[in-house]
Amino acid sequence: MTKIGIIGAMDEEIEILKDFMIMEDTKNIAGMNFYIGKLKNKEIILVRSGIGKVNAAVCTQILVSNFNVSHIINTGVAGAVHEDLEIGDIVISSDVIEHDFDATGFGYKLGEIPRMDTYIFKADEEMINIAYEASKCETIMHSTKVGRILSGDIFVASPDKKELLWNIFKGYCTEMEGASIGHTSYLNNIPFVIIRSISDKADGTAHINFNEFVLQAARNSSNIVMNIIENI
């Protein structure tokens, strides 16, 4: 049976979905409120994980272990790394990497996780395709790209850091949760996709742009999620 776990890190990233869902119950686990109900006639569990990779990983594991979700979607905002991305554009994950995982002192590549068979966690192809089609809906007036999403416990607001992330990882955008959600989903063999709308350019203006555009960007991402749910 299809049961979709939907994760947003901040209130802004889940409020629209929460308003549209038919609420049946709420459970508080590990300080997180899990909203149980239906959206587009599908069973969903909607949750605000909190910011950062640990919060997101714990949240994902609870969705798997306590709620037996069949799919996981992460919705939210991100900073642009790819030069062609503009504020409001959408990035759908082809795969995800934790860019701040650093075992280079032991001869590993930046981002590579020792003693794991991969550090590049691939999103589900069917969910990617559904998400891409969903991005064409009338409520979305921005361009959509499918590409690599990078995550780290860093709010990137530096042109030098942004350039580094592109040169090393060829990431399209950067945020603080998606790769840990992908990592946890991979370990549990759960299909996932990350949907991010660009809120800032991950440069010296990032903090200003983020505050100005976060609501618009979150709305764009949420619109796509609703269309994905309808078609899973």
Asked whether the predicted pLDDT for residue 11 surpasses 80, the reply is: yes
User: What are the domain boundaries of the chain?
Assistant: 3-231
184: number of Cβ within 10 Å: 23
- Mapped onto helix, strand or coil, the DSSP state of residue 114 is coil
Q: Looking up tokens 């979607």, which residue turns up?
A: 73
Read off the pLDDT of residues 150-163 as tens digits, 9 standing for 90 and up.
999 998 888 899 99
- Parallel, antiparallel, or unpaired for β 144-151 and 173-175? parallel
User: Can you give the pLDDT at residue 214?
Assistant: 67
Read off the pLDDT of residues 184-225 as tens digits, 9 standing for 90 and up.
999 999 999 999 988 887 676 656 566 666 677 777 888 889
Which of 12, 13, 95, 98 is catalytic? The answer is 13
User: Can you give the pLDDT at residue 215?
Assistant: 74
Which of 89, 95, 200, 203 is catalytic? The answer is 200
Separation of alpha carbons 40 and 108, rounded Å = 44
- Give the DSSP letter of residue 107: T
Asked whether the predicted pLDDT for residue 138 surpasses 50, the reply is: no
Read off the pLDDT of residues 79-102 as tens digits, 9 standing for 90 and up.
999 999 988 899 999 999 999 999
Over residues 21-38, mean pLDDT: 98
User: Does residue 200 have an active-site annotation?
Assistant: yes
Provide the whole-model pTM: 0.93
Over residues 106-124, mean pLDDT: 97
The CATH number of domain 3-231 is 3.90.550.10: no
93: number of Cβ within 10 Å: 28
Read off the pLDDT of residues 162-186 as tens digits, 9 standing for 90 and up.
999 999 999 999 999 999 999 999 9
User: Does residue 13 have an active-site annotation?
Assistant: yes
Asked whether the predicted pLDDT for residue 137 surpasses 80, the reply is: no
**Tokens for 36?**
């149980």
Read off the pLDDT of residues 40-65 as tens digits, 9 standing for 90 and up.
999 999 999 999 999 999 999 999 99
Amino acid identity for residue 115 in this structure: R
